[in-house]
Amino acid sequence: MNPKKNFKKVVLITGASRGIGAATAKLCAKAGWDIVVNYTQNQEAANSLCAELKDLGAATLCVQADVGDESQILKMFSQIDSHFGALHGLVNNAGIVDMTSHVVDMSWSRLERMMRINILGSIVCAREAIKRMSTDHKGSGGSIVNLSSVAARVGAPSQYVDYAASKGAIDSFTFGLAKELATQGIRVNAVRPGIIDTDIHASGGLPNRAKDLAPMVPMQRAGTAQEVGEAILWLLSDESSYTTASVLDVTGGR
């Protein structure tokens, strides 16, 4: 019997209960990946996504964990070890904005939460993934895709410069980590979405932001979560085997 006959690759997608993460999970399931669905609050959405992924043929593990808390990240990875025993992909997708504000009014607690979830969460998830995927650690290699944002380039003035700065850090982290891991079988890339129609804008107090900002996009429309997911899936897959340390803009030309 061929021991690899039923071998499927496992990907952890953080913040997969909604938006870009959920769309990516569905595309990954259709492409044959097994999936760890991480979420922080919305258990109902995560469970219903997992049921959908199972119908698409994927084995799933649904894990509640706040990526802004190291101990919860460690617990999540030990659950992955027990359930799947291997990891081949990580999508550092979980991310937050906050209410629109000028920097002059930003509190320490707001800044600390933003950096903890958007930067530290991604770095610590990558650290734990490296221990499981790196050929230097007896892993079989893998791919890490980080979610940046066009805000890293444009700065999001008078809305959320703190968020933009956190995504700038993600770009730097991607470039450095990719080079550090280039001989360890792990590729590291980022996707930089533009204005994408998801709930994230409502969480910043601007539920109509995607529609309102569409006229400033060269393609004159917001993007969809699925359009971002397609880019993530490509970077995860072996189809992008010579691509590392890259940032792929999915911005409608912005």
Q: Which is nearer to ligand NAP, 137 or 218 (CB)?
A: 218
CB of 140 to ligand NAP, least distance (A): 26
Answer yes or no: 39 catalytic.
Answer: no
Residue 18 in the binding site for ligand NAP (CB under 6 A): yes
**Is the Cβ–Cβ distance between 90 and 123 less than 8 Å?**
no
Residue 41 in the binding site for ligand NAP (CB under 6 A): yes
Residue 48 in the binding site for ligand NAP (CB under 6 A): no
Residue 42 in the binding site for ligand NAP (CB under 6 A): yes
Residue with tokens 């003035």, as numbered in its chain = 157
Residue 21 in the binding site for ligand NAP (CB under 6 A): yes
Q: Which stretch binds ligand NAP (CB under 6 A): 4-12, 60-68, 98-106, 180-188?
A: 60-68
Residue 142 in the binding site for ligand NAP (CB under 6 A): no
Among 27, 63, 94, 190, the residue binding ligand NAP under the rule CB under 6 A is 94
Return the residues of window 196-225 that contact ligand NAP according to CB under 6 A: 196, 198-200, 203, 225
**Residues whose CB is less than 8 angstroms from the CB of residue 217 and which lie 6 or more positions away in sequence, other chains included:** 194, 195, 251, 252, 253, 254
Write b or e for each residue in 31-63: b if 16 or more Cβ atoms lie within 10 A of its Cβ, otherwise e.
Answer: bebbbbbbbbeeeebbeebbeebeebebbbbbb
Nearest residue to 45 (alpha-carbon basis) of 87, 76, 15, 13: 15
Among 12, 13, 25, 40, the residue binding ligand NAP under the rule CB under 6 A is 40
* Catalytic entry in 39, 160, 163, 242: 163
**Is the Cβ–Cβ distance between 84 and 61 less than 8 Å?**
yes
Interhelix angle 121-133/161-180, rounded to 10 degrees, is 20
Among 11, 20, 125, 152, the residue binding ligand NAP under the rule CB under 6 A is 20
Residue 145 in the binding site for ligand NAP (CB under 6 A): no
Return the residues of window 223-252 that contact ligand NAP according to CB under 6 A: 225
Among 195, 232, 235, 248, the residue binding ligand NAP under the rule CB under 6 A is 195
Report, as residue numbers or ranges, the catalytic residues.
163
| Contact residues: ligand NAP, CB under 6 A | 14-21, 38-42, 45, 66-68, 93-96, 117, 147, 149, 193, 195-196, 198-200, 203, 225
